[in-house]
């Protein structure tokens, strides 16, 4: 006797026919038993795999609305949404909230249908994808987890008992998805990369949808059937609202300013905000300000200021510090193996927002990466390896592209501040010291040759990365017995050259403290720092004290190093300049004469240094009424500097500027204006619009236009320049006050005498308070006011 679900057959009898689910007999049958099994019917809607617990205060994201619009769309494509983002941005919570919402709607529909008497006997399939029959949640970090969940889903929809063949059951489940009219949603959470799903993608059908969450942003995710949605950080406003919603009910601080600052400290990362809020809720004695102090304390690790694993909110599995551990580990395992981790160690010491990628292919960094490889590695690390490792870090969202500058060559990357901190805290102190030195070498090699003070996108990125590196150098790895690493001096020059006078002074004073501790008071490096600080103090207005300090430093340097040492020559140059700036123009010329004679006596004199000294000497010659002697000297200097350094080097542009000023003093205004116009165009391209040298050239150009009789043009330009000088140099700095005095001069010359007098009185008042009664700028302004009282006066000075 054979049987199936439709027919019962008995041999050696006559023919008989039965209706469905019945049986028939044409004769005598002895001992026939028929067993009818009830058909298995799942209880729709069905959930396979437990959903993660929802966040206690879930913040709706753009991705959430994108998912709802997608599920309600009638289109069959795309059948998959990929939620991408770095660890901790809340991808899983977005997917969890979406899946829970779909289930709730489906169950509500079933409950509503059960109250209807007209459809009690039916088992209808929902007519809209917005009403899902089956949700499968898969923790997809490993293939075996995917397979086991698919197998469990197969048994859930068919009622089959386990067969011991998970792969076969998983494959059967995918086949079932491909043919069922039921509406289903499969969520694959935390997929490492697109290759993990190579054999386990849910089928593309009109009745099914798939959501993937991943830290990977591989280009391979993009197909015509998949759409990628980035889940990023909270906005500042969203971060503040979230903290308020958690901390407010606990009676903790409500000040939105403090909440905003805390959110800034945490980089607006949802996971970090949740865990920090939980920590604050645990310890009611902590204020937000005190907690921020703990976060900033470099002696504490992230694990010290976040909840323990057992106290994490929303059933989270990992602290912020551990959230990226797997990503870092996986990045280091991917080809080129072993390069990503040391690369991250360097990046975690630099600026959070913008690091020039050019750093990563410098010989210094490649040498460092090579030394960090296992001893058995056969090939040296190349620029290609570094580029591939960076691509891996981008794929895993450990670093992200930063906004480009105006130049297409401005290729920058950023790294979240908490990822940086987690990487630093996982490294050994000896590892960090080696990485600090390697990063400094790479920064030095990346700095554009011949452009020391470029205020461009890359220039600012280099400066901010250097500042971050110095802050993380807690073991003085940037110092040795010779003195500071060159990148420390580079940063100081950059701060000076871009008008960040106060920051520059603090930087050099910090260096001096370290130099005295590391090198001693009479070390050449310590003395040179004293010379640099004196110059910054002179920039701040205390010129007489600076000249005294420079003389004292020069005496010690000559005694210890001799007259021809480079540090002695540097201090002598600084002394000559500031004697001139103090009004002792003849003394400045005499100092430059001595410096020039010494430079020429050197066994290998540097021609560029000789030319720079000749330029400075000629500048102060023009102040002594020796313009006719200075003019041919400056023409020769411009020609020589251009030959050695090119037309756009800062030294060349300074020489061209000095030549134009001399021409203007001699009445050759047309040629002076032509030269300054070309210099300004070159400086704009090299430095940007707000660089110190650009502003000074614009002021000099306005001066020349005024001298050529174009008073209105001069006044318009100077009026625009005064607030720019104040922003870049500071409102009471000598250059700013000089620019305002020049504006007052040309306002007077244009006949607006009351306005000019008020402007100059303001300059005199500011100069007296900021620079002192006896500063040359103060006395010049007062003298000019005295001349104007007699209805005369032609005072004017270049910044």
Per residue in 787-798, pLDDT (tens digit) is 898 764 444 444
Q: Is 745 left (phi over 0), alpha (psi -120 to 50) or beta?
A: alpha
Residues 6+ apart with CB under 8 A from 468: 349, 350, 351, 352
Q: How far is Cα 660 from Cα 397, in angstroms, rounded to an integer?
A: 52
The pLDDT, as a whole number, for residue 22 is: 58
Give the tens place of pLDDT for each residue, 728-756: 877 887 889 999 999 999 999 999 999 99
Cβ atoms of 477 and 437 closer than 8 Å:
yes
The pLDDT, as a whole number, for residue 2 is: 38
136: nearest Cα among 128, 127, 145: 145
pLDDT higher than 70, residue 69: yes
The pLDDT, as a whole number, for residue 33 is: 60
Percent pLDDT > 90 in the chain is 60
Residues 6+ apart with CB under 8 A from 573: 592, 595, 613, 616
Tokens standing for residue 744: 């007052």
Give burial (CB, 10 Å; 0-12/13-18/19+) of 234: buried
Q: How far is Cα 691 from Cα 694, in angstroms, rounded to an integer?
A: 5
The pLDDT, as a whole number, for residue 612 is: 93
512: nearest Cα among 494, 490, 527: 527
Q: How far is Cα 28 from Cα 110, in angstroms, rounded to an integer?
A: 49
Q: Give the range among 86-100, 110-124, 287-301, 706-720 with minimum mean pLDDT.
A: 110-124
Q: What is the mean pLDDT of residues 563-592?
A: 93
Sequence-ordered alpha helix ranges (H) in 248-382? 256-265, 270-282, 288-296, 320-323, 325-333, 340-347, 363-371
Give the tens place of pLDDT for each residue, 299-333: 888 888 888 877 788 777 778 878 788 789 889 99
Cβ atoms of 248 and 229 closer than 8 Å:
no
The reply to whether omega before 78 is within 30° of 0 (cis) is yes
pLDDT higher than 50, residue 200: yes
Percent pLDDT > 70 in the chain is 88
The chain-wide mean pLDDT, for the chain, equals 87
Q: The tokens 């040296």 sit on which residue?
A: 380
The pLDDT, as a whole number, for residue 311 is: 78
pTM of the predicted protein model: 0.75
Q: How far is Cα 248 from Cα 241, in angstroms, rounded to an integer?
A: 10
């Amino acid at each position: 006797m054979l049987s199936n679900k439709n027919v019962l057959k008995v041999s050696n009898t006559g023919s008989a026919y039965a209706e469905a689910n019945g049986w028939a007999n044409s004769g005598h049958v002895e001992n026939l038993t028929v067993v009818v099994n009830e058909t298995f019917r799942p209880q729709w809607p069905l959930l396979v795999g437990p959903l993660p617990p929802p966040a206690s205060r879930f913040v709706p994201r753009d991705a959430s609305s994108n998912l709802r619009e997608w599920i309600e769309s009638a289109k069959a494509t795309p059948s998959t949404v990929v939620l991408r983002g770095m660890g901790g941005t809340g991808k899983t919570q977005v997917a969890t909230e979406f899946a829970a919402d779909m289930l709730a709607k489906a169950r509500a529909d079933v409950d509503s249908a059960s109250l209807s008497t007209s459809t009690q006997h039916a088992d209808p399939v929902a007519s809209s994808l917005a009403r899902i029959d089956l949700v499968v949640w898969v923790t997809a970090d490993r293939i075996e987890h995917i397979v086991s969940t698919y197998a469990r889903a197969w048994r859930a929809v068919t009622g089959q008992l386990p067969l011991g063949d998970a792969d076969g059951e998983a494959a059967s489940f995918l086949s079932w998805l491909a043919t069922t009219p039921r509406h289903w949603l499969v969520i694959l959470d935390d997929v490492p990369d697109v290759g993990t799903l190579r054999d386990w993608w849910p089928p593309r059908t009109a009745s099914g949808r798939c959501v993937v969450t991943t830290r990977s942003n591989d280009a391979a995710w993009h197909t015509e059937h998949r759409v990628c949605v980035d889940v990023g950080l909270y906005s500042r406003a969203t971060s503040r609202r979230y903290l308020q919603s958690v901390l407010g009910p606990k009676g903790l601080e409500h000040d939105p300013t403090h909440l905003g600052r805390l959110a800034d400290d945490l980089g607006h990362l949802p996971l970090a905000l949740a865990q920090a809020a939980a920590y604050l809720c645990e310890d009611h004695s902590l204020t937000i300000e005190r907690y921020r102090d703990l976060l900033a304390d470099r002696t504490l690790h992230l694990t010290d200021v976040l909840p323990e694993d057992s106290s994490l909110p929303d059933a989270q599995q990992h602290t912020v510090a551990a959230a990226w551990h797997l990503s870092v580990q996986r990045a280091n395992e991917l080809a080129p193996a072993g390069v990503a981790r040391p690369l991250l160690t360097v990046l975690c010491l630099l600026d959070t927002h913008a690091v020039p990628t050019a750093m990563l292919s410098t010989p210094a960094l490649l040498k460092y990466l090579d030394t960090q490889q296992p001893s058995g590695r056969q090939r040296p690390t190349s620029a290609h390896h570094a580029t591939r490792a960076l691509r891996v870090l981008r794929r895993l969202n450990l670093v992200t592209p930063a906004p480009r500058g105006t130049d297409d060559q401005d290729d920058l990357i950023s790294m979240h501040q908490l990822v940086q901190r987690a990487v630093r805290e996982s490294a050994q102190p000896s590892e960090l010291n080696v990485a600090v030195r390697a990063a400094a070498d790479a920064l030095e090699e990346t700095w554009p040759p011949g452009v020391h003070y470029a205020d461009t996108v890359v220039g600012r990125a280099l400066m901010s990365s250097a500042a971050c590196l110095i802050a993380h150098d807690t073991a003085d790895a940037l110092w040795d017995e010779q003195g500071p690493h060159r990148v420390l001096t580079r940063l100081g020059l950059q701060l000076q050259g871009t008008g960040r006078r106060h920051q520059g002074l603090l930087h050099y004073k910090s260096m001096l403290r370290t130099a005295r501790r590391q090198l001693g008071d009479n070390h050449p490096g310590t003395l040179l720092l004293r010379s640099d600080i004196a110059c910054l103090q002179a920039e701040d207005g205390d010129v007489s004290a600076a000249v005294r300090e420079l003389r004292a430093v020069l005496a010690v340097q000559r005694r210890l190093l001799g007259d021809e040492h480079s540090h002695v020559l540097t201090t002598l140059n600084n002394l000559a300049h500031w004697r001139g700036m103090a009004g002792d123009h003849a003394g400045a010329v005499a100092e430059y004469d001595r410096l020039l004679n010494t430079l020429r006596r050197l066994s290998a004199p540097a021609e560029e240094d000789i030319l720079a000294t000749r330029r400075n000497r000629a500048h102060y010659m023009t102040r002594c009424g020796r313009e006719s002697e200075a003019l041919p000297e400056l023409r020769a200097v411009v020609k020589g500097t251009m030959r050695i350094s090119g037309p756009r080097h800062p030294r060349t542009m300074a020489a061209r500027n000095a030549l134009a000023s001399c021409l203007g003093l001699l009445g050759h205004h047309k040629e002076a204006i032509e030269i300054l116009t070309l210099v300004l165009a070159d400086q704009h391209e090299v430095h940007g619009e707000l660089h110190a040298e650009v502003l000074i050239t614009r002021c000099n150009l306005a001066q020349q236009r005024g001298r050529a009789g174009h008073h209105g043009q001069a006044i318009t330009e100077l009026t625009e320049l005064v607030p720019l000088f104040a922003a870049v140099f500071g409102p009471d700095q000598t250059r700013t006050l000089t620019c305002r005095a020049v504006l007052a001069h040309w306002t007077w010359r244009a006949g607006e005498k009351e306005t000019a007098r008020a402007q100059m009185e303001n300059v005199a008042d500011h100069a007296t308070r900021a620079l002192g009664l006896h500063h040359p700028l103060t006395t010049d302004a007062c003298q000019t006011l005295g001349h104007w009282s007699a209805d005369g006066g032609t005072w004017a000075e270049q910044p």
